[in-house]
Amino acid sequence: MALLDGKRLVITGVLTDDSIAYAVAELAQREGAEIVLTSFGRALSLTSRVAKHLPSPPEVLELDVRVPEHISRVAAQIKQQWDGLDGLLHSIGFAPQSCLGGGFLEAPWEDVKVAVEVSAYSLKSLTAGFLELFDQAGGGSVVGLDFDAAVAWPGYDWMGVAKAALESTARYLARDLGSHRVRVNLVAAGPLRTVAAKAIPGIERFEDVWAKRAPLGWDITDARPVAKACVALLSDLFPATTAEIIHADGGYHAMGA
């Protein structure tokens, strides 16, 4: 029996086949899950194109997490094809350029609030929007992708603050959704060469030191270790784990200088 046999998952954030979400989608299908992808705007055509590379090309639904009507519409579309939802991968993050690259003191609130809304508040928006579907399934698992917010990173600036908000949001969701049998956990990944990462000025400084300091080493081109952590949390292997941050980073987070 495969790890995700019978599971029905919504996976956000697939943009190219280098995306962490793509690696999760591919592994989830190989482990028996049915999946739906979401995307929006100009990225929608890219997601639809790359979805064809998956073992079983899934449906791609339009979903902008800043538009409540999109969330309710996607929930209704899922309800038409499934009688419940077992898992959600939150792989969504964005910050305007003013919020990255060393302009922490200058970034205006108008841009900062976009970063927080898209990267953190959206975890609540999606989970709450799909809660009825989780209830129909008797519970489920929400997994979000994180980048360790316990420290300040060069150039990461307000996205780091947004990730700290994501971590706190996950804890409060875990508190409130335990009675619904919905687990909420995050996977803190090491740096990977994705389209999103390339938009962060100075990301190469993370790459240069990570493999040297991580006890298990780190391959910035291989998203599979992160995908395996996500799939494990989406499965039934962790029935009593919620409000947790699992580090899939080669052990870098625990090492000193």
pLDDT tens digits along 8-23: 999 999 999 999 999 9
pLDDT score for 238: 98
The number of domains in the chain is 1
Cα 219 from Cα 224, distance rounded (Å): 10
Q: What is the pLDDT of residues 131-145, one digit of tens each?
A: 999 999 999 999 999
Q: Give me the CATH number covering residue 130.
A: 3.40.50.720
- Tell me, yes or no, whether 1 lies in a domain: no
By mean pLDDT, which of 80-84, 151-155, 157-161, 166-170 is the weakest?
151-155
pLDDT score for 59: 98
Neighbours of 240 (CB within 10 A): 5
- Tell me, yes or no, whether 2 lies in a domain: no
Give the pLDDT mean for 50-54.
Answer: 97
pLDDT score for 200: 72
Residue 173 in this model has a pLDDT that exceeds 90? yes
pLDDT score for 201: 72
pTM for the model stands at 0.96
- Tell me, yes or no, whether 204 lies in a domain: yes
Distance between terminal CA atoms of the chain? 44
- Tell me, yes or no, whether 124 lies in a domain: yes
pLDDT score for 109: 98
- Tell me, yes or no, whether 60 lies in a domain: yes
| Residue 141 token pair | 């698992």
| Residue 168 token pair | 């706190």
Taking alpha carbons only, the member of 85, 71, 64, 68 closest to residue 142 is 85
pLDDT score for 206: 74
Cα torsion angle, 92, 98, 103, 107, sign: negative
- Tell me, yes or no, whether 3 lies in a domain: no
Q: What is the pLDDT of residues 69-122, one digit of tens each?
A: 999 999 999 999 999 999 999 999 999 999 999 999 999 999 999 999 999 999
Query: Would you place residue 248 in the very low, low, confident or very high pLDDT band (cuts 50, 70, 90)?
Result: very high
Q: What is the 3-state secondary structure (H, E, C) of 198-246?
A: HCCCCCHHHHHHHHHHCCCCCCCCCCHHHHHHHHHHHCCCCCCCCCCEE
Give the pLDDT mean for 29-49.
Answer: 97
pLDDT mean across residues, the chain: 95
Residue 27 in this model has a pLDDT that exceeds 80? yes
| Owning domain of residue 165 | 8-254
- Tell me, yes or no, whether 90 lies in a domain: yes
pLDDT score for 172: 98
Query: Would you place residue 209 in the very low, low, confident or very high pLDDT band (cuts 50, 70, 90)?
Result: confident
pLDDT score for 204: 74
- Tell me, yes or no, whether 143 lies in a domain: yes
Q: What is the pLDDT of residues 217-240, one digit of tens each?
A: 999 999 999 999 999 999 999 999
pLDDT score for 207: 75
Q: What is the pLDDT of residues 103-113, one digit of tens each?
A: 999 999 999 99
pLDDT score for 256: 87
pLDDT score for 234: 98
